[in-house]
Structure formats: C-alpha cells, structure tokens
Amino acid sequence: MIVAVVGPTATGKSDLALDLAEALGAPAGAEVVNADAYQLYRGMDVGTAKVPPAERRGVVHHQLDVLDPPEEASVARYQAAARADVDAIAARGARAVVVGGSGLYVRALLDHLDFPGTDPEVRARLEERAEAEGRRALHAELARLDPAAAEAIGPQNTRRIVRALEVIEVTGAPYTANLPRQEYVRPAVQIGLDCGRATLDTRVEGRVARMWDAGLVDEVRALASPAQGGTGGGLGVTAARAVGYAEVLRWFAGECTESEARQAVVANTRRLARKQMGWFGRDPRVHWLDAGADDLAEQALAVVRAADAGDLPAPGSGPVRRSLGS
C-alpha cells in the first residue's frame, strides 16, 4: 500500500515522510517519491525546502532534480515517471512513501486521471471561433455537448471552454469523462498534516526567515543568470512562477525593495497554504493529523498499520479537519 503525506506547506511533511520511511522500511526498505512540482527542478533547493541529500537519512528519493529550470513541468510526464518509480519500488518489495503539496501531482500519481492529447489545429480553430463568435457562443455549445462541464467551467473562462471542446472533439467523449476520479490506481492511504491558521502563519514566517538566511537570494540570482541558459535567463515560465522565486525576481527587476519582496514571499506562502488546504480538504479519503502533535510519527504510523490491516474507517466517515480551508 502506498503511503502519501499531503497537506499545506510548512507543516513538516518531508520530516514525517522520512520518519515513516524509516519505520516502515523493514525488511525490504521504503523509498520516497516527491510530489512537489517545484522540487522537480535542479538547483531550486532553498526556495522549495528540498531536503538536502545529507539529511535524507539514507532513504532513496525519486522525482527530485529531474528537470532543468528552463524546462516546463508537465503533470502528464510526471504521472508516467512517478508511476514507473512506484512500480519499480513495489517490484523490489519496498514501500513507496509519496510526499508533497502539489494537489494535482498527488492526484495524477495516486488516482485514475487521464490526460487527453491535444490537437493544435482543433484548438486554433476553436480559439478563432471564440474571437469571432464570442466565448458565450462556445459556452452554449459546451452546455449542449457536456452540461456538467459547462456548469463547472462557467462562461467567463475562455481557455478552459476551448480546452473542454477540444477534448470532446479529440476523444469523442464528454470532457467530464476525463476528469480525475477519487479512485486509487493502487491501494493507498493519505495522511494529511494540518494546524491552526495562526500556528501556520508563524511557521511560514519562520520558514521564510530560514530561507533568506540559507541563501535564497543568491540561489535565485544564480538560476536567473543568462549563463545558466534558457530564455530570458535560467528560469523558465513555470519555475519563475514559484513562490519565493517570483518575488525575488521582481526585486531584481526593480519593481520592489528587498523588504517588500520578503514580505510578499511570506504573504504568498500563506496564500498558497490556504489554497493547498482547500484542495486536500475536499478529499474525504485524507486522514488528518495535527502537525504539532508530540507523537505525530506514532499517530501516522498507527494510521498506516490500520490501513494495512483494513481497519480504517470508510472514506468520509470520520471527521475532517478544515482549519485552514474554512
């Protein structure tokens, strides 16, 4: 059974994943599979709170440092590579411990989630129609072909309307048929870490301070240098959007002061944590634990043991903490 440690940033997911990997390692071992979109990038270490190799306690890690910063991350590519890692771990008789706060990446790894192909000609034609006829006309067409998709997307989001119609034309199936289902592709148990809003805000502020002291500014400067390659520097569009990097780049561009950039990193990290909690909080399969509990590792291990034995409550039958998402 796969063990996944999920939840908002700054709650201690990486440490708990290592604790569980050590506890669950006998006899064949346990290996960690990263599910943080930005930890895929080489060199983005301080700003993503990536566990340094020397602190990984000898536990093998996968899906870290697999992309260069100018590259664009792809959930579909991640899904194929991470599932191959999980398959290989299982073939070795070991346990996979997934850890990360990128909700779509977690779902792509654990759940039935298909990524329909694209057709540039179809998309271009739909985009031309949106320009000529207006997005409401395309939304009306989507409502006729897939009412549930039209209701979920709404008439204002041209990009998603075009994508939904493209998928329908390419696959011949409703767009909603390709949306993720809360159904594991392999047996899994998700452990979520949560804490009160005030506690998390304090944790975030402390994390940003440690990142600044650990050399975040120098890291961003080195990655953004044209000598590192890439268009407009060493950070591609995806990497440059990462919290911590985007704000420092704005400072470098003269759009704010260092103090303002640092304050923005804190504010945007807090905003990210609330977004993550909203995502994971909607999944009734997550078993929530208090990130500040003194016996957190023991509680998490008990959840895994119960899941292994088939003794966990049915999804959604127990209380779900929503302190950040409420």
Q: Which residues are annotated as a binding site for ATP?
A: 7-14
Q: Give the DSSP letter of residue 132.
A: H
Which of 43, 105, 26 has the alpha carbon at shortest distance from 73? 105
User: Per the annotation, where are the binding residues for substrate?
Assistant: 9-14
Contacts of 258 (CB under 8 A, 6+ apart): 217, 251
Main-chain dihedrals φ then ψ at residue 224, nearest 5 degrees: -85, -10
Please, which contacts does 91-94 make with residues 24 or more away whose CB atoms are closer than 8 Å? Answer: 92/28, 92/29, 93/27, 93/28, 94/25, 94/28, 94/29, 94/30, 94/31
Distance between CA atoms of residues 292 and 310, nearest Å: 27
- Phi and psi based region of residue 43 (left: phi greater than 0; alpha: psi -120 to 50; beta: remaining): left
Q: Where are the alpha helices (DSSP H) in 134-257?
A: 135-145, 147-153, 158-171, 197-214, 216-224, 237-240, 245-252
Which of 74, 94, 120, 110 has the alpha carbon at shortest distance from 29? 94
CB 277 within 8 A of CB 322: yes
Using CA of residue 312, residue 313, residue 315, residue 316, what is the dihedral sign?
Answer: negative
User: Per the annotation, where are the binding residues?
Assistant: 7-14
Encoded tokens for 108? 């792509």
